[in-house]
Chain A
Amino acid sequence: QAVVTQPASLSASPGASASLTCTLRSGINVGNYRIYWYQQKPGSPPQYLLRYKSDSDKQQGSGVPSRFSGSKDASANAGILLISGLQSEDEADYYCMIWLSSAGVFGGGTRLTVL
């Protein structure tokens, strides 16, 4: 079982909200970790969006709109990236990452389609 799992794809309509999940393997408690989120568009390097551990430990990336936000679902052992007011420009691949014993671990990424 992978350490970090993301759904391969997600579709949503313009103006709607999209909730992207980042599920940690059983035994790795999401409550103990900062979840980092990145957006990557075709032909470009990833861009840092935000990190989220709790409402008191979170950070928005420089210039990242507030309609991108982070949260957690403890019952699902998952981090969540919420994108509200979807725009066509939000169509991209999204990756989450955690630091596990000083080593970085990325999820496999979610391709978000806005249609």
Chain B
Amino acid sequence: EVQVVESGGGLVQPGGSLRLSCAASGFTFSSFWMSWVRQAPGKGLEWVANIKQDGSEKYYVDSVKGRFTISRDNAKNSLYLQMNSLRAEDTAVYYCARGQQVDYWGQGTLVTVSS
């Protein structure tokens, strides 16, 4: 069974940092692009970043460029999102999702940026 499980969310002050993790199982992690997608409270979905199978290509939505870094460890079947210089508008549930089809999603982890 394909599973992705996010962790690492929480309450952080503006300007702070947080690192999200995503543990994948049930599929060959190293064969898939992986994405982070977020959803602010009561709002729609926003794609945040993705990373190629070997980590050689990474793409970001403009609003997080220079602040967020996506990475992966294929040996650990894990995906990460390092978030720095956090802003109130980064408050959202962050989902880890598989592949170009974004076909399997985790339950998400809530990040709240507030003083």
How far is it, in angstroms, between the C-alpha of A47 and the C-alpha of B60 when the chains are bound?
22
Contact of B105 among A45, A59, A103, A107 (CB under 8 A): A45
How far is it, in angstroms, between the C-alpha of A33 and the C-alpha of B68 when the chains are bound?
27
B106 at the interface (CB under 8 A from A): yes
A14 at the interface (CB under 8 A from B): no
Contact present for A103 and B45 (CB under 8 Å): no
Given contacts A45-B95, A95-B44, contact A104 B35 (CB under 8 A): yes
User: Which residues in B have their C-beta under 8 angstroms from that of A97?
Assistant: 45, 47, 102
- B52 and chain A: residue at smallest CB distance: A102
With both chains docked as a complex, state the minimum distance between the C-beta of A50 and any C-beta of chain B, in angstroms: 9
Contact present for B50 and A104 (CB under 8 Å): yes
Contact present for A104 and B102 (CB under 8 Å): yes
Interface code B41-58, partner A: CB below 8 Å = 1, 0 otherwise? Answer: 000111100100000010
B101 at the interface (CB under 8 A from A): yes
Contact present for B44 and A108 (CB under 8 Å): yes
Contact of B45 among A48, A61, A102, A106 (CB under 8 A): A106
Q: List 7 additional A-B contacts (Cβ < 8 Å) besides A36-B101, A36-B102.
A: A97-B102, A104-B35, A106-B37, A106-B45, A107-B44, A108-B44, A109-B44
Contact present for B37 and A104 (CB under 8 Å): yes
Which parts of A26-43 form the interface with B (CB within 8 Å)?
36, 38, 40
Please, could you name 28 A-B residue pairs with CB atoms under 8 Å apart, sorted by A? Answer: A38-B102, A45-B95, A45-B105, A45-B106, A45-B107, A46-B37, A46-B45, A46-B95, A47-B105, A48-B101, A48-B102, A48-B103, A51-B101, A93-B44, A95-B45, A97-B47, A99-B100, A102-B50, A103-B47, A104-B35, A104-B37, A104-B47, A104-B50, A105-B47, A106-B44, A106-B46, A106-B47, A107-B44
Contact present for A59 and B101 (CB under 8 Å): yes
With both chains docked as a complex, state the minimum distance between the C-beta of A102 and any C-beta of chain B, in angstroms: 5
With both chains docked as a complex, state the minimum distance between the C-beta of A10 and any C-beta of chain B, in angstroms: 15
